[in-house]
Amino acid sequence: MIPLHYLSILKLATYNIRYSPTNSHPILPEAPWSTRLPLILNQLNWEEPDIIGAQEVLDHQFIDLLEGLHQLGYTGIGVGRDDGKRLGEYAPIFWKSDQFELVDHHYFWLSEEPDVPGSISWDSGQTRMVTCVELKPKLNTVQVDGIFQLPGQNSLDRSIFVMNTHFDDRGSYAREQSAKLICYRAEALIKKTSKPVFLLGDLNSTPEELPYKTLTTESTGQLSFKDSRQNAKHLYGAIKATYTSFSKNPSVQGVIDVVIHPPVAIG
């Protein structure tokens, strides 16, 4: 949860829901989508995040999530990574419709041709993409409080950018280049608009690996994000890992999922 200049608290969540092909059976002991969907919705209803970034969402899962989350007061957008329409996994973003209005949105691909839908580069095993939304708080429903604001941001134009992504699980070089591309794109948005950019996602990289360090390590002339996990006063639960697999001991698995924010002070 991150205090903002114009929000009392901004609560963001990243959630890899695990893809569920319609033409195959789950990998044991994986539960089928029909079992997992209500559990996911129940958890999100309990957590009540303001903004959610999801990963591994196929078209039929996106339809189910959009319908279920609509009943909980959310709306959202997303496209399939393979064609920029409905093929392949989505990296959708959902938000509370009574708290935010959508100002703009766009998509780009983690490749050497980021504006070409379905493009793939480097040593990627699969196409990967980023969903980016610009959201403006509805001030009649959001308390004006907190301390977060970028220098030069107009107090009457208080929108934020949120990116959501899922890095490749096979190509280490692709993950490194993906991190650099996101830093470049986020920095360009901040310089152009003076609005904060938040990143949600599954990096398939632990904090010890270069992609994470590229995103979060300060260096001359390059934007760096701050990991909200590192600033959290309390981490809930005995197991801190975000990747548990199906059969391994989850207590020894790593943290590969992030909610990270711009390099400004938070309280």
Distance CA 97, CA 111 (A): 32
Q: Which domains does the chain have, with CATH numbers?
A: 12-261 (3.60.10.10)
Contact 4, 265 (CB under 8 A): no
pLDDT at residue 150 is higher than 60: no
Cβ atoms of residues 11 and 95 within 8 Å: no
- List, for residues 171-207, the tens digit of each pLDDT value: 999 999 999 999 999 999 998 998 999 999 999 998 8
Three-state SS at 90? strand
**Alpha helix (H) ranges present in 194-227?**
210-216
Tell me the pLDDT band of 77, cut-offs 50, 70 and 90.
Answer: very high
Q: Per-residue pLDDT tens for 55-70? A: 999 999 999 999 999 9
Instruction: Tell me 14's DSSP state.
Output: E
d(CA 53, CA 131): 9
* Residue for token pair 């403006």: 136
Q: Report residue 144's pLDDT band, with 50, 70 and 90 as the boundaries.
A: very low
Q: Which residue bears the tokens 């970034």?
A: 53
Is there a contact between 226 and 199 (Cβ–Cβ < 8 Å)?
Answer: no
pTM of the model: 0.88
Q: Which of 103, 39, 95 is nearest to 72 (CA)?
A: 95
CA-nearest of 260, 249, 264, 157 to 202 is 260
The residues, ordered by sequence, that sit 6+ positions from 71 with a Cβ below 8 Å of its Cβ are none
Angle, CA 60 vertex, CA 56 and CA 62 arms, to 5°: 55
- State the chain's mean pLDDT as an integer: 85
What gap in Å lies between CA 200 and CA 135, rounded to an integer?
15
